[in-house]
Amino acid sequence: MASQQAGQNAIAASGIADAIITSCDFVNYDYDKLQYAFKVGVKSESDPSGKITYFTAGSDHAVKCN
């Protein structure tokens, strides 16, 4: 459930109209905030050889990775 929300947040943050999730890997669990963090890969579905953009995402955020 948490990974699904993280994926949706990454798609929203990407700004890609036809974005798909290419990967979603568990990164961390913050015990103080009681939140999961995932590294989510997102790319355009219409460009199979397109660049994958990675985000660190959780249930209420998504931040582009460098």
34 or 41: whose pLDDT is higher?
A: 41
Residue 46 CB neighbour total at 10 angstroms: 10
Predicted confidence at residue 2, as pLDDT, reads 83
Q: Contact at 8 Å (CB) between 65 and 56?
A: yes
**Given this model, what pLDDT does residue 66 score?**
67
Cα-based distances in Å from 49 to 1, 24, 25: 29, 19, 21
Closest C-alpha among 53, 66, 49, 45 to residue 10: 53
pTM score over 0.75? yes
Find the DSSP H helices in the chain.
2-14
pLDDT at 21 (0 to 100): 96
